[in-house]
Amino acid sequence: MKVAVLSPAVWRTPPRNYGPWEQVASNITEGLIEKGIDVTLFATGDSITSGKLDYVIEEPYGENPELDPKVCECLHISNLMEKASQFDIIHNNYDFLPLTYSRLIKIPMVTTIHGFSSPKIIPVYKKYNGINYYVSISKSDRSSELKYIATVYNGINEKEFTYKDIPGDYLLFLGRIHHEKGTSECIEIAKKAKMKLVIAGLVQDKKYFEEKIKPHLNNRDVIYWGNADPEQRNELLGGAYALLHPINFEEPFGLSVVESYFCGTPVVVFRRGSMKELVIDGKTGFLVNNNYEAAEALKNIKSLKRKDCYNFAKSKFTRSIMAEKYIEVYNRILL
């Protein structure tokens, strides 16, 4: 079986810092290769893979403001589509744009839907519903207007994370700094709990950061770490007392929650989106509804066993398990 994995061209695959879709595309690629599948990764020229790499975009347009995103997308996606006949199946991790080629090629395409940025994009998915194979990354992140072949949870390369049995003394926010992710709520929760907070992630909304986050930063009890790389992410997660994830939207998955588990660190999350699928309430963390409940839940973190967090992640969210699930999907389509 020859598989083409299409990753975005926004960031490197795997990303240097932020880049969840690129991270998942990398884990899919490497997980499939470990299972003996012949994989070609279509990503930026600086990407890293143990398989074959094919590219026309030398560097990520997210790192070079001189590059035009739409031009990069067109060149990047068309490069794969013009080579489609070389593969048995295409695995699309680049949202809805590649679907517009699907009637022009004979090779089946699996599209992992990494969330809906807006209801406005659903008509594109609907148009190609009958000839494509859609995979959701959680049961909660499904549109009633679409047909799905499977739900496959995102898998993590557990070797990138270090389990730590002893908790640290700070709370952690890890993710893009945006209202959707609840960075400001984390500050309020930490203050209510009278605990130190470390904030790490890409500043996606600069106005939000300047108005809601920056005034509280003091390098003492509210600290902005910056956009953490993989090694720093591992250290921050492993050293945390708990990960805070007070989301203000219906989160399609939540990589940081699972990554936290692999370090043994429990989570306190708002009860929205996929969180009910990722969190065993009272065992791997706490599902709460507001900032007050979150601060109260932190009083009970010591009652949780960090090994339970690790074991839960190991049983459901490894890249090996994810690869096995995708191979099952491919076989259902091809056999």
- Cβ neighbors of 15 (< 8 A, separation 6 or more) are 22, 23
**So what's the pLDDT on residue 238?**
97
Domain count along the chain: 2
- Please indicate, yes or no, whether residues 95 and 120 belong to a single structural domain of this protein: yes
- Please indicate, yes or no, whether residues 183 and 149 belong to a single structural domain of this protein: no
Side chain identity at 318, as an amino acid letter? T
- Please indicate, yes or no, whether residues 141 and 180 belong to a single structural domain of this protein: no
**So what's the pLDDT on residue 236?**
98
- Please indicate, yes or no, whether residues 277 and 139 belong to a single structural domain of this protein: no
- Please indicate, yes or no, whether residues 149 and 167 belong to a single structural domain of this protein: no
- Please indicate, yes or no, whether residues 65 and 114 belong to a single structural domain of this protein: yes
Which stretches in the chain have pLDDT values below 70?
A: none
- Please indicate, yes or no, whether residues 250 and 145 belong to a single structural domain of this protein: no
- Start-to-end C-alpha separation, the chain: 11
**So what's the pLDDT on residue 310?**
98
**So what's the pLDDT on residue 93?**
98
**So what's the pLDDT on residue 258?**
98
- Please indicate, yes or no, whether residues 246 and 120 belong to a single structural domain of this protein: no
Classify residue 151 by burial, with Cβ atoms within 10 Å: 0-12, 13-18, 19+: middle
**So what's the pLDDT on residue 37?**
98
- Please indicate, yes or no, whether residues 11 and 107 belong to a single structural domain of this protein: yes
- Please indicate, yes or no, whether residues 217 and 95 belong to a single structural domain of this protein: no
For residue 96, which of 79, 75, 73, 80 has the smallest C-alpha distance?
73
Classify residue 220 by burial, with Cβ atoms within 10 Å: 0-12, 13-18, 19+: exposed
- Please indicate, yes or no, whether residues 73 and 175 belong to a single structural domain of this protein: no
* pLDDT above 90 as % of the chain: 99
User: What CATH code is carried by the domain that includes residue 217?
Assistant: 3.40.50.2000
- Please indicate, yes or no, whether residues 140 and 65 belong to a single structural domain of this protein: yes
Which range of residues forms the domain containing residue 208? 159-316
Cβ-based neighbour number of residue 174 at 10 Å: 25
